[in-house]
Structure 1
Amino acid sequence: MYKRFLIIATALLAVSASSQAKVRLPHLLSDGMVIQQNTNANLWGWAKPKSEVTVSASWTAEKFHATAGKDGKFIVKVSTPAASFEPLTITLDDGDGAATISNVLAGDVWICAGQSNMEMPVKGFNGCPVKEYNNVVADAANNRGLRYCKIPSVMSMKPLADANCQWRNSDMRNVSDESATGYFFGRMLSRSLNIPIGLIEANKGGTRVESWLNEASLKKYTDEKLDTMSIVRNSRYDYERTLVWGNGTFAPVINSTIKGIIFYQGCGNVGYHTTDYAFRLSKLVEQWRSSFGDVPFYFVQIAPFDYGPGIEAAKLREQQAKAMDLIPNSDMVCTNDLVYPYERHQIHPCQKRQVGERLAFIALNHNYGFSNLYCDSPEFDKMEISGDTCFIKLKKDYGGLSRYDGIEGFEVAGADKVFHPAEACHYWKQGNDPHNEWIQVISKDVKSPVAVRYCFKSFQLGNLGNQGGLPLIPFRTDTWDK
């Protein structure tokens, strides 16, 4: 039934696009949109086949032109102004009928992609609240020029060219339905920079990274079977299906001109191609950048959650940390400190404000020139062992660690590969290194240590951070399977 409906809908779309005598635009290009500032931005749609489409914009006397193909499709680049809160107008005319977009703002446009922790709205899911909801809604009255557009989450075996969506202001009436992570990211950018920010939400809960790879990428880089029946059989649930979510939910935004992408996904890959997740994620970024250009890609490491026995979730986080080095122009937010102990079995932790704001700190530092903002979590650098004591050196600590005593989350193992809880504290190592701050790790149960782990479990909360209060990224010094 679904397949039949899709064929009929696709056919109707083709007829509409080719037979009309008036410019038609995708829903994403509509009243209230935010257009990427200071660039040559794409506008696209359908017009009378082989007609010339002329674009007029309220901010310039210059005209922009494109020729529609035999199928009526066209795409045109328009030079855009600097960001401002002045409402703009764009008109596209093929000679037989014009389409006008009103109340347009020039600013920066970011895509918010991923699975349910990106999709989770400010009002939360049932049984999954977002912290301080009422305060967040009331504060939305202070937003200016912050807008979002939610792409409906749909599946398709072929890439869709349009989606039934509309732009909304992030105000008190609308913010409840907006991605919480995306909203807090956009709010921080908008208020810090005093410019309009547009957020395009293209996400679906439960999806795997393979759900967003297109057919060409899947064929080239994976062994996934792509016929309809195999896609269905190889997934326990529809949200895990390969290919179809990217075709249905992301393809409609692929022509957009954007500033960057934020991404929160990974839970769906715990136990599914965990060990090559970084590679597959890097290929997804390459795929998207083939359309958007070399835009920034900032992503969130999955939060602590009790997935059951084993270290598959820890391995997935390890892969995400590796992806930072594998993907140029990328960075990652660590969330190890953003889960309460009572959320052990809560896949959607409530502290979304800090997640979005940490993503914004990265963007403000890397893309907007605020190098004085601390945006990176500390990472493991190296280990030295002396007798029964391990000494751990970190990098990206911004000149200091957040606590001297009572450090939690470390474990030590000997040659038997059995890990035991360890005590950890600051250690000022003698020598010529002006930055000689190390962490001393010792366990009374391990006399000859060979390996150290920090929060390398499905659910383990640490409390060590850097000078900026950002949490240490979970790590291990071994490569053992368990």
Structure 2
Amino acid sequence: MRILILLIAIFFMAPVDAFSNISLPSVFSDNMVLQRNSDVKIWGWAKPGEVVKISTTWGNDTFQTRVGKNGKWEIMLPTPNIRGPQQVSIIGYNTVVLKNVLLGEVWLVSGQSNMEWTAAAGIDNAEAAIADAENDQIRFFTVLNRTASCPQQDLDGSWVASKPETMKHFSAVAYFFGKKINKELGVPVGLINSSWGGTPAEVWMPSEVIENSKELTEAAKMLPKTEWGPRDPGLLYNAMIAPLVPFELAGVLWYQGESNTDNANHYEQIFSALINSWRQKWHKELPFFYAQIAPYEYGDNFSGVKVRDAQRRVLKMPKTGMVMTSDIGDIKDIHPRNKEDVGLRFAALALNDVYGRETAAHAPLVSEIKKNKNKLQITFSNAEKLSLDKENPATQFEVAGKDGNFKPVKFSIKNNTIELNVREIKDPVEIRYSWRNTGTSNIFNEAGLPASSFAEEIE
């Protein structure tokens, strides 16, 4: 008790200024990458009423603000497109100098184990990829795993340059994405990895999003407790995403869905809510690209393919894009080892949709189904030179009549559309394609990208 009283006395006797040093969130540190050609918000904490100033080596202007009563401050900092390492100085009662700062493209990557998966954990051609990872223009920030019951102001992590010893413990998908973007654009790339294996989407969004929706609340109750990762809504958003808001980003990469097979029928609503919630928190329509989960033996139901189809349906949201994995997966391994092609396909989406490069990035996507007597005509977008995989030519199209019984039907490819023969189906009302948890598409476009599994009603 005496020790406690002594500590309290020392606390109150100490000069106020001793507790007013400028401090910053961990994401603002040496070796960081700031989004170029933007107005970047820098924020932190200091003594209420104190004047905080920021200066940089890339400009002559000084920007300042006064710390609020809550001890928080923020300053908007314009960032040009400039090469080379820079410094950012934050000046107040004390001075904090951030060194070796680069201006480039910053992407947040998140999800569960397939995004978290590292070269050290085992990927194709790991040894060569690790040996080739020396690149000071690619920087990593790994958010350490933790949970919180309410939104936090800071998190654990630090910026490091890409080297063999850092790359092999970073998200492999993110690394291959960043390497390609750096090569094609010739600018630095900052990658913030906030992912945790075995987690459903619910833990990655604010808990109030779930609580304010009856459907999402009921869907969350379907998730079983497991030893793999947290299950309660909001726990990882609070600890691993909220402290990053509103760090300026070029966009988001997402690889998740395997842990939502228990409520697959609701995944379209769940995932859409997550995307909307993040965009609302960042106050901008962030490009949001995601990987469709790969075919895998989830059991004798359709839970896996239902998640894949839900992901396809989410593409109706603006500024979204989906990486196909059905042709580069492993139905015996929920963690396919080909992470490079996933990263490269993410990069193709970003290069095409964000950076204006004409890159073959999008897979065939069903856009219209027309009934014409005994035939169904399926029109696809991104359907340039549709072709059939000759090693897997069997039909994956099934059609059901009003009796609900699905039967395989023959098909032909004509003028970048697909025509189905439904002569033997009375009153066809529903069509599905590659509708198996382990289904691997056999229809590809000119870019070598497979069509997604889908199920649609016939009007």
- What TM-score, normalized to structure 1? 0.84
- Quote the residue 2:3 is aligned against: none
1:284 match: 274
Deviations 1:380-432 (A, max 9, x none): 233455676654332211x2113375534513244343444555443x3xxxx
Is the CA contact 1:388–1:449 (under 8 Å) kept in the aligned structure 2? no
In 1, Cα distance between the equivalents of 2:145 and 2:53? 33
> Corresponding residue for 1:411?
397
8 Å contact kept, 1:154–1:249: yes
Distance in 2 between residues matched to 1:216 and 1:134, nearest whole Å: 44
Distance 1:231 1:470, change over 3 A: closer
Q: Please say if residues 149 and 234 of structure 2, whose CA atoms lie closer than 8 Å, have aligned partners that are also in contact.
A: yes
Q: Assess, with a 3 A threshold, how the Cα gap between structure 1 residues 465 and 150 changes in structure 2: closer, same or farther.
A: same
Q: Summarize the Cα distance change of 1:19–1:402 in structure 2 as closer, same or farther, 3 Å threshold.
A: farther
Alignment correspondent of 1:7? none
Alignment partner of 1:90 is 2:92: no
CA offset digits 1:213-238 (Å, max 9, x no partner): 11332332356679xxx999973444
Which of residues 114, 122, 126 in structure 2 aligns to 1:117? 114
Corresponding position of 1:138: 131
Q: Deviations over 1:273-296 (max 9, x none)?
A: x23322232222222122322221
Following TM superposition, by how much is the alpha carbon of 1:146 offset from its aligned partner in structure 2, in angstroms? 0.7
Using a 3 Å threshold, how does the CA distance of structure 1 residues 276 and 57 change in structure 2: closer, same or farther? same
Distance 1:246 1:93, change over 3 A: same
Note if 1:313 corresponds to 2:311.
Answer: no
Residue-by-residue CA offset, 1:106-131 (whole Å, 9 max, x unaligned): 0010000111111111222xxxx311
Change (3 A) 1:170 1:311: same
- CA, structure 1 residues 115+19, in 2 after alignment: closer, same or farther (shift >3 Å)? farther
In structure 1, distance between residues paired with 2:91 and 2:205: 35
User: What SS is found at the alignment partner of 1:239?
Assistant: coil
Kindly, what percent of the aligned residue pairs are identical?
A: 28
What are the equivalent positions in structure 2 for 1:226-237 lying under 5 Å apart? 235-237=225-227
CA–CA distance in structure 1, aligned partners of residues 400 and 91 of structure 2 = 73
233 and 288 in structure 1: CA distance in 2 versus 1, 3 angstrom threshold: closer
Counterpart selection for 1:367 from 340, 354, 363: 354
1:145-294 maps to which residues of 2 (within 5 A)?
Answer: 145-222=137-214, 235-237=225-227, 238-272=229-263, 274-292=264-282, 293-294=284-285
3-state DSSP of counterpart to 1:201: strand
Q: Distance in 1 between matches of 2:301 and 2:245?
A: 38
Deviates more, 1:97-106 or 1:171-180: 171-180
1:146–1:187 Cα contact (<8 Å) kept: yes
Distance in 2 separating the partners of 1:258 and 1:337: 30
Q: Once superposed, what is the RMSD of the aligned Cα atoms?
A: 2.8
Distance change (3 Å), C-alpha of 1:331 and 1:414: closer
8 Å CA contact retained: 1:314, 1:456: yes
Q: Which amino acid aligns with 2:198?
A: G
Please list the CA deviations of residues 418-470 of structure 1 after superposition, one character each: whole Å capped at 9, or x if unmatched.
444555443x3xxxxxxx333344599x5658344221111111221101111
CA contact (8 A) 1:388 1:448 kept: no
Unpaired stretches in structure 2, ≥5 consecutive residues: 1-10
Check whether the contact 2:296–2:333 (CA below 8 A) recurs between aligned residues. yes
Q: Matches of residues 382-397 of structure 1 in structure 2 within 5 Å?
A: 382-384=368-370, 390-397=376-383
How far apart in 1 are the matches of 2:234 and 2:394?
A: 41
- Report the Cα distance in structure 2 between the residues aligned to 1:394 and 1:421, rounded to whole angstroms: 20
Contact 2:223-2:260 at 8 Å conserved across structures? no
Q: CA offsets, 1:179-238, max 9 Å, x none?
A: 011111111111000000000011111221211111332332356679xxx999973444
SS of the residue aligned with 2:109?
strand
Q: Which amino acid counterpart does residue 473 of structure 1 have in structure 2?
A: S
The yes-or-no answer on 1:400 pairing with 2:410 is: no
1:469 corresponds to which residue? 448
Q: How far 1:78 sits from its partner (Å)?
A: 0.7
Q: Is the 8 A contact 1:40 1:79 kept in 2?
A: yes
Cross-structure match for 2:7: none
**Paired residues of 2:399 and 2:425 also in contact (CA < 8 A):** no
Question: Is the deviation greater in 291-300 or in 104-113?
Answer: 291-300
Aligned to 1:477, the other structure's residue is in SS state: strand
Instruction: Report the Cα distance in structure 2 between the residues aligned to 1:381 and 1:329, rounded to whole angstroms.
Output: 17
Q: Is the 8 A contact 2:286 2:319 kept in 1?
A: yes
Q: Does 1:457 align with 2:436?
A: yes
Q: Which amino acid aligns with 2:165?
A: R
TM-score, normalised by the number of residues in structure 2: 0.88
Return closer, same or farther for 1:222/1:19 CA change in 2, 3 Å cut-off.
farther
* 5+ long unaligned stretches in structure 1: 1-11, 429-435
Structure 2 Cα separation of the partners of residues 19 and 282 of structure 1: 46
Q: Give the AA of the match of 2:97.
A: T
CA contact (8 A) 2:376 2:422 kept: no
